[in-house]
């Protein structure tokens, strides 16, 4: 039986990047506010993941999203930490046995930000300019909108990517605006890209908390900071992604929004070179979020066919 949560230090596992730490600190602040506990009651435990160590190859070549969660989930399972804080878009759609996503924090702005020292928008870049990104979704969407641009591989955390931009490795890059806001780096943004033009990654802008399914006291604690509307949107988006078998290997975008008692969804699949795309829109009761996501995923799977994501 787990001891009462107030009688021991609560260990929060996270990656060590500046953004991951900002998200862990936000979680700690929210937990302290609802429990009345001091910050000293929460220990932030930094865990280096495979995704942080492998920086010389695209994620699609070395294992995809699970590279950012594997070691943290192992620490959860062996009891080294009590809860883990993740970017939702890094989370695989199938979790290890015994672990659950027990809470979502209120979602930040979901848009992608265009960052460049020489241009104000993607449309302003001259033909042949280089856009740096490690995301297959962003790569495919750039190729779709601006096939005259060159897309180059751009791995690393936000600060690393900004340094590469400064060094001229690329003329522009695309980053999640939510992450830049959490880092206080909004002034680096040249422009924001409307979701109508650039649909975000599934889970973009949302922080999730992962725990052991049998950790009753911890789960009761994080329930106090759970945001139901974000959870409904992510339930739909993750169901959609699961049906499409989505990972860092596939260009998939999706965004669900809760409006009153209704949930509205837009989904998109693209060929890796942006040469073909299929879209779907759906709406229905919030209570049917998962079913709507499953049906939307199945629709796009049929439209794309079995070889849609194959790279020739």
DSSP state of 191: E
Judge whether 99 and 210 are in contact, CB under 8 Å: yes
Structure tokens at 68: 């950012």
Distance, CA of 232 to CA of 156 (rounded, Å): 30
Residue 90 is a catalytic residue: yes
Distance, CA of 43 to CA of 9 (rounded, Å): 7
- As beta bridge partners, residue 281 has 266
* C-alpha distances out from residue 308 to 158, 260, 276, 300, 303, Å: 31, 35, 9, 10, 9
SS3 244: coil
What is the sign of the dihedral through the CA atoms of 225, 229, 231 and 234? negative
Radius of gyration of the chain (CA): 19
SS3 86: strand
H or E element in which residue 193 lies: strand 191-193
Closest of 295, 248, 252 to residue 271, by C-alpha: 252
Strands (E), 271-305: 277-285
Q: Which residue among the candidates 40, 82, 90, 261 is catalytic per the annotation?
A: 90
SS3 42: strand
- As beta bridge partners, residue 210 has 84, 101
Edge-to-edge strands, sheet with 83-87:
42-46, 10-14, 83-87, 207-212, 99-104
What is the sign of the dihedral through the CA atoms of 56, 89, 267 and 128? negative
Residues with active-site annotation: 90
């Amino acid at each position: 039986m787990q001891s009462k949560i107030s009688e021991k230090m609560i260990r929060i596992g996270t990656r060590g990047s500046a953004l991951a730490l900002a998200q862990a600190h936000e979680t700690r602040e929210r937990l302290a506010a609802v429990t009345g506990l001091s910050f000293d009651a929460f220990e932030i435990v930094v865990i280096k993941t495979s995704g942080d160590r492998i920086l010389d190859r695209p994620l699609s070549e070395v294992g995809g999203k699970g590279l950012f969660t594997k070691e943290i989930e192992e620490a959860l399972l062996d009891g080294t930490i009590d809860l883990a804080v993740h970017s939702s878009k890094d989370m695989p759609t199938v979790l290890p046995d015994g672990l659950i996503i027990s809470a979502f924090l209120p979602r930040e702005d979901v848009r992608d930000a265009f960052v460049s020292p020489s241009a104000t928008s993607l449309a302003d870049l001259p033909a042949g300019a280089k856009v740096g990104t490690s995301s297959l979704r962003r790569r495919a969407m750039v190729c779709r909108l601006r096939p005259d641009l060159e897309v180059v591989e751009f791995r690393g955390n936000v600060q690393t990517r900004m340094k590469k931009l400064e060094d001229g490795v690329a003329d522009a890059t695309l980053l999640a605006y939510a992450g830049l806001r959490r880092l206080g780096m909004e002034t680096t943004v040249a422009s924001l890209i409307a979701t109508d033009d650039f649909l975000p990654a599934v889970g973009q802008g949302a922080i999730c908390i992962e725990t052991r399914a049998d950790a009753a006291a911890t789960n009761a604690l994080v329930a106090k900071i759970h945001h139901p509307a974000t959870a409904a949107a992510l339930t739909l988006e993750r169901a959609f992604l699961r049906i499409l078998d989505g990972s860092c290997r596939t260009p998939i975008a999706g965004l669900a929004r809760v409006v009153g008692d209704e949930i509205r969804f837009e989904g998109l699949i693209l060929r890796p070179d942006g040469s073909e795309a299929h879209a779907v829109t759906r709406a229905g009761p919030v209570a049917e979020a998962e079913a709507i996501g499953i049906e939307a995923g199945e629709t796009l799977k049929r439209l794309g066919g079995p070889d849609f994501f194959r790279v020739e």
